[in-house]
Structures are given as C-alpha cells and as structure tokens.
Amino acid sequence: MSEETTGQTGTPFAGGAGAGDAGGQAGQQNVQIFVDDRELRTVFCNFYQIHTAMEEVILDLGFNMQNPRPVQQAGQAGQAQLLLKVQDRVIMSYPTVKRLAASLTQLVKRFEQQFGEIPTQPGQRR
C-alpha cells in the first residue's frame, strides 16, 4: 500500500488506501488523481473525540493542555483543570474510516517493528 505525494500543488497522487473511491478495483478504468494542497493546514493533535451517525463518523481533533485560566469553584481549590481545545472536525464515510484504520494499523505495526511497542497510557515511556 504505497502512499506518496510530492507535496506540490497539482502533482499526481500515487496511493491505495487514501486515494478515495476512485479506481483501485479490478476491471475499472485507471484514474489519475491530483492533490491540491494550496489550503493545507498543519496542526498538532494529542486529543480526539469520535461521534457516530448512521452514515458517517465525526472525528474531532484537538489539543489537551492545562487550563491557562483555571476556574475556581467552591470546595475544589487547587484541583488540576484541563482544557480540551477542539481545533478541527473531520467527517468521513464508514468505507473511508475503514481504509484509514487499515492504513494506520499498518503504519503502527511498521513503527513498532522498528522501534518497539508504543505505550498508550499517559506517562508511560518506551
């Protein structure tokens, strides 16, 4: 499953799982896909939240951090507060989610084969 882009506007995209619904099945016409990244935004994400509906999956991506302006409530003085800042929302069809899950699974397997198991609990180190 090769996924390559050259990062330039109007350049061909060679990829299987991320290529969308065009092409990829036997007997279908080959389609050349171009990636337009002129409005590409890069954000850091260490928090996600998933919502589901009958036809789609809604994925909120954001940033988990200490609350810079903690709200003092009676009886909870000194309690740590987190701020979950949702920055982006991605809405995908279930077939797209399935292809993304397969690509991410393959990516994690390759990483762990090279560098060892990735911990998922906060505070754990490799």
What is the pLDDT confidence band of residue 28, given thresholds at 50, 70 and 90?
confident
Per-residue pLDDT tens over the stretch 80-107: 788 888 999 999 999 999 999 999 999 9
Q: What is the pLDDT of the chain when averaged over all its residues?
A: 80
pLDDT above 70: residue 12: no
pLDDT above 60: residue 58: yes
Q: How many CB atoms lie within 10 A of CB 62?
A: 19
pLDDT at 68: 75
Contact 91, 56 (CB under 8 A): yes
Q: What ranges do the domains of the chain cover?
A: 1-20+31-40, 44-68+81-115
Determine which of 45-49, 64-68, 73-77, 81-85 has the lowest per-residue pLDDT on average. Answer: 73-77
Three-class SS string for the chain?
CCEECCCCCCEECEECHHHCCCCCCCCCCCCCCEECCCCCCCCCCCEEEEEECCCEEEEEEEEEEECCCCCCCCCCCCCCCEEEEEEEEEEEEHHHHHHHHHHHHHHHHHHHHHHCCCCCCCCCCC
Rounded to two decimals, the pTM is 0.64
User: What is 44-68+81-115's CATH number?
Assistant: 2.30.31
